[in-house]
Structure 1
């Protein structure tokens, strides 16, 4: 049995490798997962939620470069913790856009940047702003004055849009992962019990499924969100609790078709418990449709979260998600900054497509028939 299962798995993996579109989809999903974990490594703005604002450089085009001066605040810390690497740092510096600068014996002189064609007045700031916080004078020019390139330009608050887009991957990917986990955790046992035992238990489960099924998904998520509150984790739970129905229906239908098969009758005759028959005998044979519905739910969860964030019910500002990035910037399409709304939309489209394609590839590869 072990050798047979191993051979089946190897054959399935060979089928997946031969499907170039499936491999490309898998690589895109892996890239999204990698960016989700190490978002702040790829981000140009290491502040939490890439929320370093500088309104002087708002609405700048892609590829915009600007000389910046960072003045440490009272909460400045020289070292970075592991938490900072994964979740971003608090705002510890005041960021000033400048045209030119000069470091003198005890001060830094600079001319602030005020926009195209505008020149600010010469400003001086004491080097004590740095040295009092343990920063040597020699490090000021190397670490606190630099030219930054904004790959995708800046938004209405002067934030690095590329960094916001990268960190937004975390919300959109995690919402799918957690929603699918909740839907499987709830839907598989409910569907299995209904399909295996039938009778009144199945009637009650089907009544519950039909009631939940009759409520539009978006409205149900909105209702759950309003009941448990808005926030990061609340939206994950709300979306997950609405997607167990599809899993339960598919699992129930598969269990009904398998419960009378010969190998199930043989298991009963050997005295195996119902729990073993459900989870050890039947469930492994219905993984193909469960994988497909899980991939579809993953894609649907991303779309639902994006819709909720666009409506202002999902992830709350300043936390970036692809949905609220579209909400914040859709009006910029008519003022020559269409990429601020199009790029998050393209990211949503590509990730949803990748999950749907890869789900179909897995179904074909692992179909026991």
Structure 2
């Protein structure tokens, strides 16, 4: 040890030992990446709609890297553009309705002709010739007022008038607009025809698996964070009171720990739902947090029982320091190591509990994608010949995330223990 390191704080050596643990450092990088994905969420998801629920019914249960051409038909209703913050939290409703097609569409007589993708019936390409459909070009590119109106004239079948070189139409706000046909065609090819690639495939109703997996990251990390805050708040309070004061307070705290420890997480979720009369995802956050505070309390209690007998604690009492100051400023800072380890372990446990509850249908709303819900939905579609991607990707996400937090916990344990075998 150099003279420079002698004057360093214990935290400096903890960081130094932690950085020597390669697996722990890689796990921190992985968790940081997952956190970035969870925060950005809708901004980077291929399907940025709320809960990534914009599915293409014609392309269900497709494997990874499935590609299909689509026509994007403009919706006839006004779709507001949200702010960045609102989009980050709630997503953005698409302004288009997507239609999967086979081949390249053609434009003739102011209409778009295309072959609809075979879809659920798995028709052959010969059969798809019978599914050649057409839509007015103006209704594909521009939002047309859907309800009957006499603004453009009486007895019109549609709220647009086709002229030799232009088209006059009534937009979604009942405003009369005119556009040249050449410009309309250019806009069609620029905005309304594209190729969609589903990197991780689609689920049973054609929703993008990658988008739902990214949103599931937000659900899992959020429940881990919130449940950790709840468990730390209750656990540190109960453990501190129990370990420091002892006596009847310690007996009462141990009794509460024993009772809470004996209640299964599923039963507690059901009880909390009945008590709060709610089925929101936040109920799961609270229930999971209430099941994990016991571990924190037991660790804090055991550490305080050993630390409060130290000479420096006796000195603080002799100096007349309050019990609050002794616990907050002189005891808790000295048990940060065990607390950090139990936090990493509880974070991983919270993710597993949430996945299990969602698999059983006790998580958030059915439309909200979480890793447990995705596994449940994928299991119903699993066949001996395919659809494995509906299960393997959320299972990998759960396994890798839980493993990362466990490795971080092991790294913290070794870093806070200078005599650990890993550091010799």
TM-score, normalisation: structure 1: 0.93
The change in CA–CA distance for 1:5 and 1:148 in structure 2 (over 3 A counts) is farther
Residue 347 of structure 1 is matched in structure 2 by 397
**1:362 matches 2:412:** yes
User: Retained in 1: the 8 A contact 2:81–2:92?
Assistant: no
Alignment of 1:99-248 (within 5 A): 99=102, 100-104=104-108, 106-115=110-119, 116-117=123-124, 118-119=127-128, 120-131=131-142, 132=171, 137=184, 138-228=186-276, 229-248=278-297
Q: Deviations over 1:74-118 (max 9, x none)?
A: 444374521124431125432211123124574333222124524
Residue 164 of structure 2 is matched in structure 1 by none
> Please, what is the CA RMSD of the aligned residues?
2.2
Give the SS at the match of 1:108. Answer: strand
User: Retained in 1: the 8 A contact 2:72–2:140?
Assistant: no
Q: Structure 2 residue aligned with 1:84, among 75, 83, 87?
A: 87
Give the SS at the match of 2:132. Answer: coil
Aligned counterparts of 1:257 and 1:4: Cα–Cα separation in 2: 27
Give the SS at the match of 2:9. Answer: helix
Identify the range of structure 1 (104-113 vs 145-154) with the bigger mean alpha-carbon deviation. Answer: 104-113
User: Retained in 2: the 8 A contact 1:326–1:345?
Assistant: yes
Residue 304 of structure 1 is matched in structure 2 by 353
The change in CA–CA distance for 1:6 and 1:154 in structure 2 (over 3 A counts) is same
Distance apart, 1:177 and its partner CA = 0.8
Aligned counterparts of 1:197 and 1:368: Cα–Cα separation in 2: 30
Aligned counterparts of 1:362 and 1:84: Cα–Cα separation in 2: 36
User: Retained in 1: the 8 A contact 2:63–2:389?
Assistant: no
Larger Rg, first or second structure (1 or 2)? 2
- Return 5+ residue gaps in structure 2 as ranges: 143-170, 420-424
Q: Structure 2 residue aligned with 1:319, among 363, 368, 375?
A: 368
Identify the range of structure 1 (334-343 vs 97-106) with the bigger mean alpha-carbon deviation. Answer: 97-106
Higher helix share: 1
TM-score, normalisation: structure 2: 0.81
User: Retained in 2: the 8 A contact 1:108–1:127?
Assistant: no
Distance apart, 1:332 and its partner CA = 2.9
User: Retained in 2: the 8 A contact 1:225–1:313?
Assistant: no
Residue 31 of structure 1 is matched in structure 2 by 33
Aligned counterparts of 1:274 and 1:25: Cα–Cα separation in 2: 38
Distance apart, 1:304 and its partner CA = 0.6
Q: Structure 1 residue aligned with 2:322, among 265, 273, 285?
A: 273
Distance apart, 1:128 and its partner CA = 4.0
- Paired positions, count: 367
Distance apart, 1:340 and its partner CA = 0.8
The change in CA–CA distance for 1:129 and 1:148 in structure 2 (over 3 A counts) is closer
Identify the range of structure 1 (339-348 vs 7-16) with the bigger mean alpha-carbon deviation. Answer: 7-16
Give the SS at the match of 1:56. Answer: coil
Identify the range of structure 1 (307-316 vs 118-127) with the bigger mean alpha-carbon deviation. Answer: 118-127
Aligned counterparts of 1:220 and 1:86: Cα–Cα separation in 2: 29
Distance apart, 1:12 and its partner CA = 1.4
